C-alpha cells in the first residue's frame, strides 16, 4: 500500500462536460464541473431530479465518458487508461451502489457478494469467507442464502453495500441509495454507509436528494442544471441550522 505517497485528493474532475444527443438535439447534462474530493471524505451530490447527479456519478465511476474535461482517480487521468486498466479500476478500486439495488435475482445474498471477488480472481473459499464476514458486517449474517426476492428492500440494499465492499475499494459511489426505501430504512442505510466510511476510511460519494444525508456528509455539493451551485462543509450547515434554531426560535 502506497500510504506514504497517498495523494490528498482521491478524485478530481476538471471542466467536465457531458452532452447527450437526442433526436438531433444536443442536451448539456454537465456544463463544466470541477470538483476535488479528499481521500476518506463522505460527499453528497445534492440536487433536484435531472440536475446531472447520475451523469456525474457515471463519469467518476468510469461507466461513461465525458464529452470534454477529465476525471483523475488518485491523480491518474482516467482517459489515459486502456481497457484492462479501466476494468481493473471498476472492479477493484470502486464499489457501486444503485437506487434499485441491482442484485442478480437468481443468486443468493452470499453469491451476489462473492461475485466481484470471483471476477477479481480470488479463490472461491476465500471469497465465501469474506462474503460471510461482509454480510455479517451489514447485519445479514442470518440471510446468507436468501435470494433478493426473499429479502426486504432495506436488506437488498445491505447486500448491495456488502457487495460494493467486496474488493476493498478506495471509493464507493452510491447513486440515490435510499431512493427506493422508506424513511426509517433509508436512515439505517445512511448510518451504515457512514459507519463503513469511518471504520474503513473509504471515500463515499453519494448522489442524492435525500436531506437525511446532510447530517452524515463531510461536504455537500449542490448541483443545479449541470453545474455546481455551491459547496458546503458540514460545519457551515450545522452553524446555519444553529442560527435558524437560535434563541428567537
Ligand atoms: N442517456 C441519456 N441520453 C439523453 N439524455 C440523458 C441521458 N441521461 C441523462 N440525460 C439527461 O441529462 C440530464 C441529467 O440527468 P441525470 O444525470 O440522470 O440527472 P439526476 O441524476 O440528477 O436526476 C437530464 O436532463 C436527463 O434527461
Ligand atoms: Mg439520478
- In the prediction, which pLDDT does 2 show? 47
Q: How far apart are the first and last CA of the chain?
A: 51
Which ligand is in closest contact with the Cα of 55?
1
Q: Is the pLDDT of residue 181 over 80?
A: yes
Task: From the CA of 49, give the closest atom in ligand 1.
Answer: 23
Sort strands 68-73 and 227-233 into parallel, antiparallel or unpaired.
unpaired
Q: What is the pLDDT of residue 248?
A: 46
- pLDDT tens, residue by residue, 54-113: 999 999 999 999 999 999 999 999 999 999 999 999 999 999 999 999 999 999 999 999
Nearest CA to ligand 1 atom 12: 29
pLDDT of residue 234: 82
Q: Is residue 21 classed exposed, middle or buried when 0-12, 13-18 and 19+ CB atoms within 10 A define those classes? A: exposed
pLDDT tens digit string along 28-49?
Answer: 999 999 999 999 999 999 999 9
Q: How far is the CA of 112 from the centre of ligand 2 (A)?
A: 24
How many angstroms from the chain centroid is the CA of residue 19? 22
Domains of the chain, earliest start first = 40-63+81-244 (3.40.50.300)
Indicate if the pLDDT at residue 247 is higher than 60.
no
DSSP 122: -
Which ligand has an atom closest to residue 48 CA? 1
Instruction: Evaluate if residue 1 carries a pLDDT over 70.
Output: no
Question: Which residues are bridge partners to 222 per DSSP?
Answer: 46, 230
CA–centroid distance, 181 to ligand 1, in Å, is 22
Nearest C-alpha neighbor of 202 from the set 176, 170, 241: 170
Q: Specify the pLDDT at position 29.
A: 97
Output the CA–CA distances (angstroms, integers) from residue 183 to 27, 146, 211, in the order listed.
Answer: 34, 24, 11
User: What are the pLDDT digits (tens) for 191-237?
Assistant: 999 999 999 999 999 998 888 888 899 999 999 999 999 999 987 77
pLDDT of residue 229: 96
Number of H helices, E strands in the chain: 7, 10
Among 23, 29, 58, residue to substitute to test ligand 1 (most atoms within 8 Å of Cβ): 29
List, chain by chain if needed, residues with CB within 6 Å of any ligand 1 atom: 20, 22, 27, 29, 47, 49-55
Tens digits of residue pLDDT in 117-159 = 999 999 999 999 999 999 999 999 999 999 999 999 999 999 9
Q: Whose CA is nearest to atom 18 of ligand 1?
A: 54
> What is the pLDDT, as a whole number, of residue 213?
85
Residue 24 grid cell: 438531433
Amino acid at each position: 500500500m502506497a500510504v506514504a505517497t497517498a495523494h490528498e485528493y482521491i478524485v478530481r474532475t476538471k471542466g467536465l462536460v457531458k452532452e447527450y444527443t437526442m433526436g438531433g438535439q444536443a442536451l448539456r447534462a454537465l456544463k463544466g464541473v470541477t470538483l476535488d474530493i479528499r481521500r476518506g471524505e463522505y460527499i453528497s451530490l445534492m440536487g433536484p431530479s435531472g440536475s446531472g447527479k447520475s451523469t456525474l456519478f457515471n463519469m467518476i465511476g468510469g461507466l461513461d465518458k465525458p464529452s470534454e474535461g477529465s476525471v483523475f482517480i488518485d491523480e491518474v487521468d482516467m482517459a489515459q487508461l486502456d481497457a484492462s486498466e479501466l476494468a481493473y479500476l471498476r472492479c477493484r478500486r470502486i464499489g457501486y451502489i444503485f437506487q434499485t439495488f441491482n442484485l442478480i435475482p437468481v443468486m443468493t445474498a452470499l453469491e451476489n457478494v462473492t461475485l466481484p471477488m470471483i471476477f477479481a480472481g480470488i479463490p472461491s473459499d476465500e471469497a465465501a469467507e469474506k462474503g460471510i464476514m461482509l454480510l455479517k458486517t451489514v447485519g445479514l449474517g442470518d440471510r446468507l442464502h436468501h435470494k433478493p426476492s426473499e429479502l426486504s428492500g432495506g436488506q437488498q440494499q445491505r447486500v448491495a453495500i456488502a457487495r460494493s465492499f467486496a474488493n476493498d475499494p478506495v471509493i464507493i459511489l452510491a447513486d440515490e441509495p435510499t431512493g427506493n426505501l422508506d424513511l426509517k430504512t433509508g436512515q439505517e442505510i445512511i448510518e451504515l454507509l457512514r459507519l463503513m466510511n469511518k471504520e474503513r476510511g473509504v471515500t463515499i460519494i453519494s448522489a442524492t436528494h435525500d436531506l437525511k444525508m446532510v447530517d452524515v456528509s463531510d461536504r455537500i455539493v449542490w448541483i443545479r442544471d449541470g453545474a455546481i451551485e455551491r459547496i458546503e462543509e458540514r460545519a457551515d450547515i450545522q452553524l446555519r441550522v444553529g442560527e435558524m434554531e437560535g434563541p428567537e426560535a
